[in-house]
Structure 1
């Protein structure tokens, strides 16, 4: 079935060639972003025109006899607004009153508590919807002004590329740094939530039962590794069950085999104590979880407070929690030396040694394709890590080095090899990409930046690349 072009939105015709459509779309997107920024500025101006002082007896914060009151629409420290003004502004935008309050709150949060993000939006450097997403998160977390300022400082430079999960992690870190009482309470609440429940009261007719739980992160990873390993063994033994079915069977095998304790004492200890008394059972460290942690010197001390980062989950964790994990009797702790990411390592071979891939992974952290945030390292066994790509074909430049290798996820590696994208590296950790239609993007530690001028002159398509 043939696909027909849509009806034209107005008298200005949409171009009928691929490059023209891309230029048309980019122009309209830029105009829409400008309009959204202006709409946010109008929302702030509306709040300025209707402050708490405009309501008689505003300090009571009550709505006696149906009179107008004042309401908070953003986080602590942001100005209050007159209650009834919200509905009128919402109606003008075609929103419900609650949705209009939400929108006004985001605008006020940006203007008064997230000023760096606000300036980027007003300068046309950041789409309004991305800034509103950050404001929504800081309002929902009820951050103190200091914590909100911390988020603003660290998010503003990368707000154009930050994902919701990364934003949530930064908010958690702000709570840990500037709201210690709340952070400690959240940690205790997390401990209180731990449980492992087998529902024996609601057994299905087929003889199955629900199992639910919330575990310590390290324990959960250990359990997942053990279940995955046994599920793989069942497949090797010829089981035709699905993966989920084999995982369920593996849990039963774990329960029956009780593999977590090694009660057999070392042979040398047996000989030494055979003439005296039976040896005491010993425990062999079994925790195999690998956690990449980034800590300050103070956080390493027994009394130091602070925030660490766990690469396995890409989330901040408290120093107290890290000390608990490392101090567990089943934990085998290995301290790796610090790697100098500025060191140039190279070999005269196509195969990439671990000392190069490790440096590239820690330098770039994610796939370096424009806007991609897939982790460079495989953080979960059922996922694949990024491929390590030779930026310039090895046949033309027979050297493998930290400056000539970049992580690309499998999808974007295919785009580069077969989809006519190509790239170069002006300096280590910085990548200049050219799209099939000739648009250019700079990908570096700050994210992805479009580096083309206005679309008045269409760029020429770039040449295809090869691996």
Structure 2
């Protein structure tokens, strides 16, 4: 395993002793910081080249977070406005999602314009960019005075602080400079953040769903404390001869929550799961003997044992089989339900480069733009081969910002941006194509 040191000399890493290896690790960290600084400079220059012409065309968080009534612009007060859709070309060449690139742009601007002391330490390679970005993310909602206070307080120690220290500095700045925002923050949390959310997959955890979901509740502290105490108090520890078979506290707490729901007379869940079972004779009643795995559409694989558990006592509706080979067309702009189901099962996520928004949350875009028949449009424009899922932001970008694409016979999507960069979105990921490469990506 050959590497080069800071002087360009080759090194055999496997031959290094501990002392040399520590020195080499120190050099490697310095190289990472230089690369991060270079990327930061590129992002800031990109922002400078794409100023917003007015507030109506300014990059906002709503674009990337799919909150269409949100007009919160990126960056804190005093940060220059950046043009909408400016994140996407940069995101594609850096092989990042537009949402992640928007965050990077916002935090880069925050560092340069509102956290100059911390930014100077990044430029001097004294601070890892990821640490500085952590502070920049936390200060974007502060007034300039409060942000300056955080900058002064954390700049000397920013290369060693964690989330707790950052949160403490931000809270201190709010108390000193923006005390009136505390009441506004409480009101905002109550009206905009309280609620219940259910997630069936957590990114970054090995990619497995494993038949487990995550229920999140945000609300006032006393109410949630009561719920927590109710579940804890209802959880009975395992005793007697079966104690050694105790499944664990977490599982017992989930069973206790189910018991609380049963005690309240809560109805059985009404859940729609599209399950493909091809390795078993499992029928609509949940019976079957062969061991195998089914696919739950939009979630992932589940063992037939788990599927049987879910079907026990549930109301099961058998839907007609969806023929994935259908090519029927309709004249209307909006596809019928069967066609939408076909397209979202064929393409499981947004087909824009590097985007992974689930297809169930996407618009269905006409690859060849739809022309109203009253304006001379031909019949049969809406059919599976001319439809593809695009999340709302990427759908708007494709329509407004000169992106173009086509679908190949293999089901890949070939994209071109306004700068001539080309990408192929395949079932296995996004490929960046050389300008002179063939029109069809290698398979």
TM bucket by the smaller chain? Answer: 0.3 to 0.5
TM-score normalised by length of structure 1: 0.40
TM-score normalised by length of structure 2: 0.42
If you compute each CA radius of gyration, which structure gives the higher value, 1 or 2? 1
